């Protein structure tokens, strides 16, 4: 994987072989796992991995509901009660929300304890669990409180995808589409050649997506430059995700990012019309627009909080061609609104 702390395509029975030494040396071991994954996989994991027989299990809510201050507080309270020290080891088993929350909990406890990410979703495997971003949501603003802290190890076990609902698989596929559009035109062509999208057809592409994300993160670990390109589709995407989350009618992260990619594609003035049409048609087929999109003014509170903004100016990652992107592109607020209305005016 061109990165020493990534174990790729691990079988369930060998899930923790790569961190056996860390487990042996840890003063205590904790597993943070969401309730749904716990029901489906925890017994199998513990049965196949006897080295975790004495691990302390902390179950958290599924999805974005776990990324709240109260859950973070609950984790720290348990560690304090257990007198967990800086030699404790945390293993996060779950989707991107779990690794976001667990990573932040580990990064801040006693100024940092070791942690390992075991993503169980496609989004986690190709994007969320890679690169050291950790966060919780605050005041309904997605990922507004967080830090950068790399996991000691990323363990990718594709067998977890077997239990993934189609909606979650497609959510992860949206991030894979993003990687192809910003960094690899041949990957984009390969996606277009897929006759169907399922775990079997997608698994062969996971390694390439990890390489793309890893390469960019290595070049710019703290998102000061090229790493911003990974935010293609996320400016509007995060605003939509936050809007529907607050309305308690959440849409998946990937679905919202796909809508954001349609929008960012339309904003990409250097991208030729043929490419725009090709990208939008492909996204429309997999991620059709919802029947009801929010009004532009309802998104302003979230767009104003976007982490890429500078001095009140909206900043986007946009495409110059398929496989190439530019970041820190300023877009006038009026043009941003007009483009939104053009993209989603039928809703």
pLDDT tens-digit series, residues 196-245: 999 999 999 999 999 999 999 999 999 999 999 999 999 999 999 999 99
pLDDT in tens, 156-171: 999 999 999 999 999 9
Instruction: With a cut of 90, say whether residue 298 has pLDDT above it.
Output: yes
Instruction: With a cut of 50, say whether residue 1 has pLDDT above it.
Output: no
pLDDT at 161: 96
By C-alpha distance, which of 206, 223, 344, 230 is closest to 288? 344
Strands (E), 139-269: 141-148, 153-155
pLDDT in tens, 7-57: 989 999 999 999 999 999 999 999 999 999 999 999 999 999 999 989 999
Q: How far is CA 244 from CA 66, 141, 157, 240, 294, in A?
A: 16, 11, 31, 6, 9
How far is C-alpha 346 from the geometric centre of its chain's CA atoms?
29
Other residues' Cβ atoms within 10 Å of the Cβ of residue 346: 7
pTM (predicted TM-score)? 0.94
d(CA 60, CA 65): 9
What are the structural domain ranges in the chain?
Answer: 6-163, 166-344
How far is C-alpha 261 from the geometric centre of its chain's CA atoms?
15
The four Cα atoms 302, 255, 280, 275 give a dihedral, to 10 degrees, of 80
Exposure string for 103-139, b = 16+ CB within 10 A, e = fewer:
bbbbbbbeeebbbbbbbbbbbbbbbbbbbbbbbbbee
By C-alpha distance, which of 22, 19, 169, 171 is closest to 87? 22
pLDDT at 346: 56
Classify residue 144 by its DSSP letter.
E
How much of the chain exceeds pLDDT 90, in percent?
93
How far is C-alpha 106 from the geometric centre of its chain's CA atoms?
18
Other residues' Cβ atoms within 10 Å of the Cβ of residue 274: 9
pLDDT at 307: 75
Instruction: Name the CATH superfamily housing domain 166-344.
Output: Dehydroquinate synthase-like - alpha domain (1.20.1090.10)
**What totals of helices (H) and strands (E) does the chain contain, helices first?**
14, 10
Fold observed for domain 6-163: Rossmann fold (3.40.50)
What is the DSSP code string of 158-173?
GGGGGG--HHHHHHHH
d(CA 246, CA 61): 17
């Amino acid at each position: 994987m061109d990165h020493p702390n990534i174990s790729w395509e691990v079988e369930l029975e060998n899930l923790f072989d790569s961190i056996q030494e860390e487990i042996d040396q840890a003063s205590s071991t904790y597993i943070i796992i969401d309730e749904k994954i716990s029901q489906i996989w925890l017994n199998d994991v513990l049965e196949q991995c006897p080295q975790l027989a004495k691990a302390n299990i902390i179950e958290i809510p599924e999805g974005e509901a776990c990324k709240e201050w109260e859950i973070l507080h609950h984790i720290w309270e348990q560690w304090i009660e257990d007198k967990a020290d800086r030699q404790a080891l945390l293993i996060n088993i779950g989707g991107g929300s779990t690794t976001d929350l667990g990573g932040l909990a580990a990064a801040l406890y006693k100024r940092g304890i070791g942690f390992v990410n075991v993503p169980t979703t496609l989004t986690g495997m190709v994007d969320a669990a890679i690169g050291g971003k950790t966060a919780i949501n605050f005041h309904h603003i997605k990922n507004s409180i967080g830090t950068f802290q790399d996991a000691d190890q990323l363990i990718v076990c594709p067998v977890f995808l077997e239990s993934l609902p189609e909606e979650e698989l497609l959510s992860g596929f949206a991030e894979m589409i993003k990687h192809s559009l910003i960094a690899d035109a041949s990957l984009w062509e390969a996606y277009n050649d897929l006759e169907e999208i399922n775990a079997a057809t997608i698994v062969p592409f996971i390694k390439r997506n990890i390489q793309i994300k890893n390469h960019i993160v290595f070049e710019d670990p703290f998102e000061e430059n090229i790493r911003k390109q990974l935010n293609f589709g996320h400016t509007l995407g995060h605003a939509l995700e936050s809007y529907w989350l607050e309305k308690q009618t959440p849409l998946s992260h990937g679905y919202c990012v796909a809508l954001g990619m349609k929008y960012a594609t339309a904003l990409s003035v250097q991208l030729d019309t043929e490419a725009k049409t090709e990208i939008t048609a492909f996204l429309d087929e997999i991620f059709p627009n919802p029947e009801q999109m929010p009004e532009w003014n309802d998104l302003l509170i979230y767009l104003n909080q976007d982490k890429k903004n500078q001095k009140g100016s909206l900043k986007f990652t946009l495409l110059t061609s398929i496989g190439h992107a530019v970041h820190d592109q300023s877009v006038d607020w009026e043009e941003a609104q007009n483009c939104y209305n053009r993209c989603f005016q039928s809703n």
